[in-house]
């Protein structure tokens, strides 16, 4: 069954134009092509990024947080109690008064002690401001570095200025070393986020955060499962574009997305430090960058290149054309939804102060 599924998955008509086979993508005459097996390297790269994250959060983020006035608040741990711990994990974190009375009798202690135990146990589940700052710092560092490196990799490429160049010579476009590292690092980053979802800060389902009672702050992530789906979708989209050698347009998609995200993480960092004016200014910059990159450039530049231009180079679009464009259109739908929320936040910020 696995062998049959594998042959179906790598069927040439899914990935490449007609009359092309996988044998045509063997390196030759100085031409180097992306290989699907190279994606296995993203797993060890993810662990390298986790090591870098550990040291950057410990030796850069923590001193920076202290310099900004963020203190590490130590929470009091409740006394070990197997009965209450089991109830907390399996039944409810907020037991009713009758349930608390039953647990008090079961543990042979007072109702007040049980209430106190649950309160302290719930507090342990809430990440500290310092922990939130560390996570925001790591994402800020990666997105900023990725944006700078991406610009360095792309600024001298003809397809960065003329989007038609993304399809010239396709599918026999040689793979550049810069494209390899750009892709591998980005995919490895999302693998690393998947590996740490269980210990990272759980975001609220509303996607809206109260900032010092001044305005609502938006984070484009909603809950645990939404993050799982988002990270797998990002990995799947980048991995698929790698296998189909859509690397040129893929690097443009990565660059367009990363250039707005580091402003969001910077705003979070200064929010945690309670630098209200700086946070507000950074959020406005993020909003402008978001609308330029996600609402204007992505549909008018990227989607134009993936939906319209391939029809000039092939009269028989492959299955991958519909798959990837379907995912990109879904992504644009999310951009519009997030843009609507950001617009509502800006409206409250400007008119309601």
Q: List C-alpha distances in Å: 5 to 14, 35, 156, 314.
A: 13, 19, 41, 27
Instruction: Assess whether 176 and 244 both reside in one domain.
Output: yes
Q: Residues 106, 239: one domain?
A: no
Measured between alpha carbons, how far is 286 from 342 in angstroms, rounded to an integer? 10
Instruction: Tell me the residue range of the domain where 47 lies.
Output: 24-71+128-352
8 within domain boundaries: no
Residue 12 forms part of a structural domain: no
Within 13 Å and on the Cβ side, how many CA atoms surround 333? 6
On whether residue 5 sits in a domain, the answer given is no
Asked if residue 241 and residue 164 are part of one domain, the reply reads yes
| CA within 13 Å, CB half, 285 | 16
Residues 103 and 56 occupy one common structural domain: no
Residues 171 and 302 in one domain: yes
Residues 304-329 have a mean pLDDT of 82
Q: How far is CA 331 from CA 28, 29, 230, 350, in A?
A: 36, 38, 10, 28
CA distance 57 to 34: 33
pLDDT digits (tens, 9 = 90+) for 297-314: 999 999 999 988 887 776
Question: Is 230 within 8 Å of 203 (Cβ atoms)?
Answer: no
The model carries a pTM of 0.82
> Considering the chain, what percentage of its residues have pLDDT values greater than 90?
41
Q: What are phi and psi of 75, to 5 degrees?
A: -90, 145
Which of 125, 156, 191 is the endpoint of a domain? 125
The domain tally of the chain equals 2
Looking at the structure, tell me whether residues 290 and 157 fall in a common domain. yes
Residues 94 and 201 in one domain: no
Residues 201 and 227 in one domain: yes
| Predicted confidence (pLDDT) per residue in 80-117, tens digit | 888 888 888 888 888 888 888 888 888 888 888 888 88
Residues 214 and 321 in one domain: yes
């Amino acid at each position: 069954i696995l062998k049959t599924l594998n042959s179906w998955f790598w069927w040439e008509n899914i990935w490449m134009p007609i009359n092309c086979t996988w044998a045509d993508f063997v390196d030759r005459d100085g031409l180097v092509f992306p290989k699907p097996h190279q994606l296995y390297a993203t797993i060890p790269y993810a662990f390298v990024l986790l090591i870098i994250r550990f040291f950057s959060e410990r030796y850069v983020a923590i001193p920076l947080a202290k310099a900004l006035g963020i203190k590490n608040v130590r929470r009091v741990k409740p006394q070990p109690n197997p009965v209450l711990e089991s109830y907390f994990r399996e039944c409810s974190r907020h037991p009713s008064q009758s349930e608390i009375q039953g647990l008090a009798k079961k543990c042979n202690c007072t109702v007040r002690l049980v209430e106190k135990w649950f309160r302290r146990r719930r507090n342990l589940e809430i990440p500290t401001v310092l922990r939130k700052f560390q996570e925001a710092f790591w994402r800020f560092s990666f997105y900023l570095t990725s944006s700078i490196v991406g610009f360095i990799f792309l600024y001298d490429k003809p397809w960065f200025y003329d989007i038609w160049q993304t399809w010239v010579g396709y599918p026999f476009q040689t793979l550049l070393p810069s494209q390899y590292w750009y892709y591998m690092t980005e995919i490895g980053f999302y693998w690393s986020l998947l590996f740490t979802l269980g210990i990272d800060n759980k975001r609220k389902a509303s996607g809206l955060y109260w900032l010092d009672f001044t305005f609502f702050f938006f984070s484009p992530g909603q809950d645990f499962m939404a993050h799982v789906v988002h990270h797998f979708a990002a990995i799947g989209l980048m991995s698929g574009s790698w296998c189909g050698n859509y690397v040129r347009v893929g690097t443009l998609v990565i660059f367009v997305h990363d250039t707005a995200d580091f402003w969001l993480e910077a705003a979070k960092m200064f929010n945690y430090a309670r630098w209200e004016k700086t946070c507000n200014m950074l959020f406005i910059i993020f909003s402008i960058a978001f609308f330029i990159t996600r609402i204007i450039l992505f549909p008018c530049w990227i989607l134009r290149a993936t939906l319209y231009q391939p029809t000039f180079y092939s009269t028989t679009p492959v299955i991958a054309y519909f798959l990837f464009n379907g995912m990109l259109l879904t992504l644009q739908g999310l951009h519009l939804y997030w843009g609507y929320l950001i617009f509502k936040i800006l409206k409250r910020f400007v008119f309601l102060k």
